[in-house]
Amino acid sequence: MKLINEEIITELNEIGKRIDVFEEYIHNPENYGENYNSIEDEEIRSLVIQLYVYYNILIDRCKRLNIDLSETLLSRYNTFRKRFCLM
């Protein structure tokens, strides 16, 4: 089960990075110029939903297995929920 959790965390981090890049681009497009590979709105919505689902799956699995979640993961999840109004 530890391997599955590590795989999920890795995927969460990758999705989170893509969303962070998109959000940074929205606020500071001048920092990217023509080198930015734009991401469509629909893809971002899909990533947000996917990330939310993965976080919930990971938290649920950890609770069922009595695995303590790291404070970093919980903090990232709560920040994510607030950023995208998923409260």
Q: What confidence tier does 87 reach under pLDDT thresholds 50, 70, 90?
A: very low
pTM summary value: 0.48
Taking 60 as the threshold, does the pLDDT of residue 16 lie above it? yes
Taking 70 as the threshold, does the pLDDT of residue 4 lie above it? no
Q: What is the C-alpha to C-alpha distance for residues 81 and 14, in angstroms, rounded to an integer?
A: 17
Give CA 28 to chain center in angstroms.
20
Q: What is the C-alpha to C-alpha distance for residues 41 and 6, in angstroms, rounded to an integer?
A: 28
Q: What is the C-alpha to C-alpha distance for residues 6 and 1, in angstroms, rounded to an integer?
A: 9
pLDDT at 22: 67
Closest CA to 61 of 7, 23, 20, 25: 7
